[in-house]
């Protein structure tokens, strides 16, 4: 048995199979893929990786299995699913997700099933490692995708209070400098299995409320920070411009992609150099959800009918600017707490939806984690001209 010292969970016990999976080339690549992409440009401590997060998820999945009093075979299953749940992430994690033909979840399933072609030396052994210990790769893939027939097993890996969210909420809060973080142990201790369902004991409602509060704070203050959105859009634009010339991009690490984009020259190199030395674009025009008039919201509805490329081309052509001078963006949000289907096991022995028993979760469900609906970013010296032009062109149509 091996032990790993983790800054979030302390000593983590690793089984031989977990160690073999963690040592696989596909998992070791995640050690060079940052969990929060370019967030380190705003929060310098955010240098943690997908690999350490995956180890943490596996550890919490084991704790949840113990709390639910699962069999050893079920605990092994959810722990290996925890290790592998992010193995399909490409470079820079979610920042470039929209550029790839399939999602990282689909790619994860293909890797687990041995159906993903990779040029990484030694890759492709994950299904063999699983089968050698009597674990069905198909069952692991179903757990990771949320398609497993068992509700309580599926909930450990793929639910509103799963091992993934418990780890990243605490880990991201730690590395971005939030003063406190949710109590993972407390949340795990109040989980209970009722038939085929994972539920939370009534006394555990405050633990779930705390978790969802911190998750909301991370989205509003960290993940959707305006500078983070700007850097991510710059990276996306650079990668999109070079995409036809990039081979096997999904298997790259962050650094490998940065080098490839720099070597490409032209627009990709210009944008990557600005990211590397934190010469980020500035906000030239924004439409916000919480502080915007009905007139502004009407502009947003007009803008939604056009692609980012159409908007950028119109402004650059009319103002006789270069392609790299203007970036348009519809910042991404996240599902709110209103989608929770977690049940509470009440003191009366009933299962009730948690949203019916928590006014705090009801309030959190109304928070839009992305205040900015639409934005245009530019080089600082062009901000004023682009701000005026953007409003005019949206009103007139692109």
Q: Please check whether residue 235 is in contact with residue 92, taking contact to mean a CB–CB distance below 8 angstroms.
A: yes
- The predicted model scores a pTM of 0.93
Give me the DSSP letters along 18-55.
HHHHHTSHHHHHGGGSBTTTTGGGTSTT---BHHHHHH
213-268 pLDDT per residue, tens: 889 889 988 999 999 999 999 999 999 999 999 989 999 999 999 999 999 999 99
Q: Please check whether residue 183 is in contact with residue 21, taking contact to mean a CB–CB distance below 8 angstroms.
A: no
Least confident segment among 291-300, 328-337, 381-390: 328-337
268-323 pLDDT per residue, tens: 999 999 999 999 999 999 888 776 677 777 888 888 888 888 889 888 988 999 88
Q: Is the pLDDT of residue 338 over 50?
A: no
Is beta strand 372-378 parallel, antiparallel or unpaired with respect to 282-288? antiparallel
Q: Is the pLDDT of residue 395 over 80?
A: no
Share of the chain above pLDDT 90, in %: 69
Say how many CA atoms lie within 13 Å of 21 toward its Cβ: 33
Least confident segment among 121-135, 161-175, 204-218, 260-274: 204-218
Rounded CA separation 356/284 (Å): 42
Is beta strand 343-345 parallel, antiparallel or unpaired with respect to 197-201? parallel
> What is the reported pLDDT for 397?
63
């Amino acid at each position: 048995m091996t032990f790993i010292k983790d800054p979030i969970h302390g000593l983590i016990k690793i089984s031989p199979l977990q160690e073999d999976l963690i040592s696989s080339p596909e998992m070791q690549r995640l050690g060079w893929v940052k969990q929060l992409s370019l967030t380190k440009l705003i929060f310098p401590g955010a240098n943690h990786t997908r690999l350490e997060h995956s180890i943490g998820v596996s550890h919490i999945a084991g704790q949840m299995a113990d709390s639910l009093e699962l069999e050893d075979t079920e605990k092994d299953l959810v722990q290996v699913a925890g290790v592998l749940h992010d193995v399909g992430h490409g470079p820079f994690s979610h920042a470039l997700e929209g550029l790839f033909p399939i999602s990282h979840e689909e790619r994860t399933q293909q890797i687990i099933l041995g159906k993903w072609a990779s040029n990484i030396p030694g890759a492709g052994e994950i299904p063999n490692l699983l089968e050698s210990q009597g674990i069905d790769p198909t069952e692991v893939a179903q757990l990771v995708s949320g398609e497993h027939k068992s509700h309580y097993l599926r909930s450990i890996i793929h639910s509103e209070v799963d091992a993934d969210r418990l780890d990243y909420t605490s880990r991201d809060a730690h590395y971005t400098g939030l003063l406190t973080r949710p109590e993972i142990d407390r949340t795990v201790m109040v989980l209970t299995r009722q038939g085929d369902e994972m539920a939370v004991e009534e006394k555990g409602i405050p633990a779930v409320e705390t978790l969802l509060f911190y998750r909301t704070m991370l989205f509003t203050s960290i993940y959707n920070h305006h500078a983070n959105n700007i850097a991510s859009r710059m990276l996306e634009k650079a990668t999109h411009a070079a995409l036809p010339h990039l081979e096997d991009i999904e298997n790259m690490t962050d650094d490998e992609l940065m080098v490839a984009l720099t070597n490409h020259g032209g627009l990709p190199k210009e944008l990557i150099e600005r990211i590397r030395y934190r010469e980020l674009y500035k906000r030239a025009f924004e439409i916000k959800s919480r502080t915007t008039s009905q007139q502004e919201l009407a502009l947003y509805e007009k803008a939604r009918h056009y692609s980012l490329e159409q908007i950028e081309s119109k402004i650059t052509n009319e103002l006789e600017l270069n392609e790299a001078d203007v970036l348009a963006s519809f910042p991404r949000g996240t599902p709110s707490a209103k989608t929770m289907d977690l049940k509470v096991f009440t003191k009366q022995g009933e299962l009730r939806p948690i949203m019916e028993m928590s006014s705090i979760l009801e309030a959190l469900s109304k928070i839009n984690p992305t205040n900015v609906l639409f934005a245009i970013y530019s080089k600082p010296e062009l901000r004023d001209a682009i701000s005026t032009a953007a409003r005019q062109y949206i009103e007139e149509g692109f």
